[in-house]
Amino acid sequence: MSVPQPPEPIAAARLLFSLDPTVSHLNHGSFGAVPIAVQRAQQRLRDEMEANPLRFFTRGLVDRITHARRHVAGFLGADPEGTALVPNATTGVAMVLQSLGLRPGDEVLTTDHGYGAVALSVARECRRTGAVTRALHVPLAATDEEVVEVVRAGLRPGRTRLLVVDQLTSATARLLPVAAIVRVAGEHGIPVLVDAAHAPGMLATPVGSIGADFWVGNLHKWAYAPRGSAVLVVAPSWRERIEPLAVSWEQESGFPRRVEWAATQDYTGWLAAPVGLFTLRSLGADRVRGHNAALAAYGQRVVGDALGVAPSDLPDPGGRGVAMRIVPLPAGLGTTFDAARALRERIADRLATEVAVMSWNGRGWLRLCAQVYNTADEYERLSVRLPPLLAQR
């Protein structure tokens, strides 16, 4: 198997960010990194807000939010009237769950690749309503067809009230065939919530023709928006049933305004989100996606080689454009949430390198991301320095 080559760096891309140059930031997928131009745009909005708070909040703010939402929806390939800006993907998930009207005996179906906070949200809503939750095991190396069949076999028509599935999994960096899964669930009238936290910016028009009842995605990860910026996209038949977590003055305006307006929260991140999309377009969105995916694949291979992992044992993301890759850690390392967190912190402190360490299916995994500010030598340095650190158990 040929060794993937690193892509040509995007000139001066590192200068677009205010990241600490003494640290290798190889975990863009967790909290992103906001370009300096976007930081400044948000600060100008904050200055405007603090110069006259009453004017900022009462004269045209709702319309400005609507304008930002339409811009973001167009970028994602979503219907602006069915799109609401929300603080993050897990907030959108909570809104959907509490709007379903779950009852005792109902079931929320997930997979074992789901995000931990989403699983906690599902579990809480099930405890509150008397519903139950069940997770399907999807093998890491399953083909798209096999994933769809696992879901098909796991559905319980008449009992399964919601299927929650990731578009791009956080723990395993796997692109799942969500459009096909939505079609299978639709055959039984089962609504689907797609957790697409990593999709905006990384995948081209990620909403597109998926046809999910609900779709949530973060803008702060790969779309260069300020943190606290995400979207909830809802199919027409569900829009008037979606309720905010707290009622405020736009409650009678219907979806999406009733979801977006939350009194005196800081809306400047939403208003600055289009500047993040402008930055991505200025660099060339396809160019950025190609660069990031190729660099992540290169990083996976050089670190995997250093840890003695055969190329055939390096998981493939299952689709083009994915800028996250995982590498299996030596047996016994990072096998629990606490152990994974401790190892991540040790790598950060000892190697000045930020990575993600995941515990999934009884094994620890190193997740590497790639962004335009990263270079091949950062992964090469990690490949040299990581094995001795892991050997110090």
How many angstroms separate the CA atoms of 54 and 43, rounded? 18
Q: What CA–CA distance (Å, rounded) separates 94 from 124? A: 10
* pLDDT tens digits, 215-229: 999 999 999 999 999
Mean pLDDT computed over every residue of the chain: 96
- 3-class DSSP state for residue 166? strand
**Interatomic CA distance for residues 122 and 133, integer angstroms:** 7
DSSP β-ladder status, 356-360 and 363-369: antiparallel
Amino acid identity for residue 122 in this structure? V
Contact 292, 372 (CB under 8 A): yes
- Assess contact for 296 and 324: CB atoms under 8 A: yes
Q: 187-225, pLDDT tens digit by residue?
A: 999 999 999 999 999 999 889 889 999 999 999 999 999
Q: pLDDT band at residue 1, thresholds of 50, 70 and 90?
A: low
Distance (Å, rounded) from C-alpha 306 to C-alpha 383?
A: 5
Nearest to 363 by CA among 318, 313, 323: 313
- Residue-wise pLDDT for 279-289, tens only, equals 999 999 999 99
Sketch out the chain's domains with CATH numbers: 13-33+284-391 (3.90.1150.10), 38-278 (3.40.640.10)
